[in-house]
């Protein structure tokens, strides 16, 4: 096992709980703008999360949930709806930032101080990453990430490993020099498919997911005043995850 050099973060569900109160709302606003009466409630959205990528998710909704919908040009409809959705999502984050999950900012700061490389590998559109990072950590934080691999930069989205393979290539690192943080089964399949050791911080939408292949599953990263729980994997030294824990997990794995 090589030395731990980089941490690669997923975004949606991992850095922040963006799905229910961000992406879902933005999709619904785009549908309303287009005069469509579709409404993705919290429960339906949970089912739709089986497919990653916003355009892919709309297509999945039409093929499996709203099968009697007819349109002359579905492809253009999806592209236009998605462009509108991205505008709404960015505006939403700019007007009312969605907070980072417990421990995320703390661990990012600790990792930077320890000289670890930071990167992002996500299915979501690049503008969405920019909006989330700027609205939570500040615009200067975008430069903290040596690689932000996002959206359509690879044709096959998670659970395919392509976005992580791309990220490794950009970083010039091998899989065994990195650790990934993910929140979903699709994410774990993707990162493990790229042979990168993966820690899961599960959430309300993903707590029943199959995280086979992940080295550790936690409820969140924890803070000094908010203990995290290890759901599977080795116990950690204290009540929240530190860079020393990451080095230990990486070395033991
Ligand atoms: C994130 C997603 C994204 C967002 C929507 O998956 O599935 O599709 O829901 O983003 P992951 P876009 O966290 O595994 O990367 O609408 O911009 O595609
Ligand atoms: Mg995710």
Q: Which ligand is nearest to the CA of 191?
A: 1
Residue carrying structure tokens 């039409």: 62
Please provide the average confidence, as pLDDT, over all residues in the chain. 97
> pLDDT > 70: what percent of the chain?
100
Helix (H) or strand (E) holding 115: none
- Would the pLDDT of 1 be above 70? no
Q: What is the dihedral of CA 10, 226, 49, 246, to 10 degrees?
A: 30
- Would the pLDDT of 13 be above 70? yes
As beta bridge partners, residue 150 has 122
Q: How far apart are the first and last CA of the chain?
A: 8
CA Rg value for the chain: 18
In the reported structure, the alpha carbon of residue 106 is separated from the centroid of ligand 1 by a whole-number distance in angstroms of 24
Helix (H, G, I), strand (E, B) or coil at 212: coil
Q: Which ligand is nearest to the CA of 19?
A: 1
97 falls in which pLDDT band (50, 70, 90)? confident
pTM across the whole model: 0.96
């Amino acid at each position: 096992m090589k030395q731990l050099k980089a941490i690669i973060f997923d975004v949606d569900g991992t850095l922040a709980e963006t799905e229910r109160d961000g992406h879902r709302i933005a999709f619904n606003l785009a549908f309303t703008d287009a005069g469509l009466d579709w409404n993705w409630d919290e429960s339906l959205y949970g089912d739709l999360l089986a497919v990653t990528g916003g355009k892919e998710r709309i297509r999945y909704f039409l093929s499996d949930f709203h099968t009697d919908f007819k349109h002359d040009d579905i492809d253009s409809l999806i592209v236009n709806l998605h462009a509108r959705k991205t505008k709404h999502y960015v505006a939403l984050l700019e007007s009312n930032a969605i907070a980072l999950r417990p421990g995320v900012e703390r661990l990012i700061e600790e990792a930077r101080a320890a000289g670890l490389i930071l990167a992002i590998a996500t299915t979501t559109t690049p503008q969405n990453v920019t909006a989330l990072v700027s609205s939570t950590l500040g615009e200067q934080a975008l430069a903290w990430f040596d690689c932000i691999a996002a959206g359509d930069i690879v044709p096959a989205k998670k659970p395919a490993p392509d976005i992580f393979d791309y990220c490794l290539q950009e970083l010039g690192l091998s899989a065994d020099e990195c650790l990934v943080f993910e929140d979903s089964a699709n994410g774990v399949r993707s990162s493990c498919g790229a042979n990168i050791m993966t820690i899961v911080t599960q959430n309300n939408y993903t707590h029943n997911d199959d995280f086979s292949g992940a080295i550790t599953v936690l409820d969140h990263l924890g803070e000094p005043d908010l203990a995290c729980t290890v759901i599977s994997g080795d116990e950690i030294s204290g009540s929240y995850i530190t860079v020393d824990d990451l080095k230990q997990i990486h070395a033991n794995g």
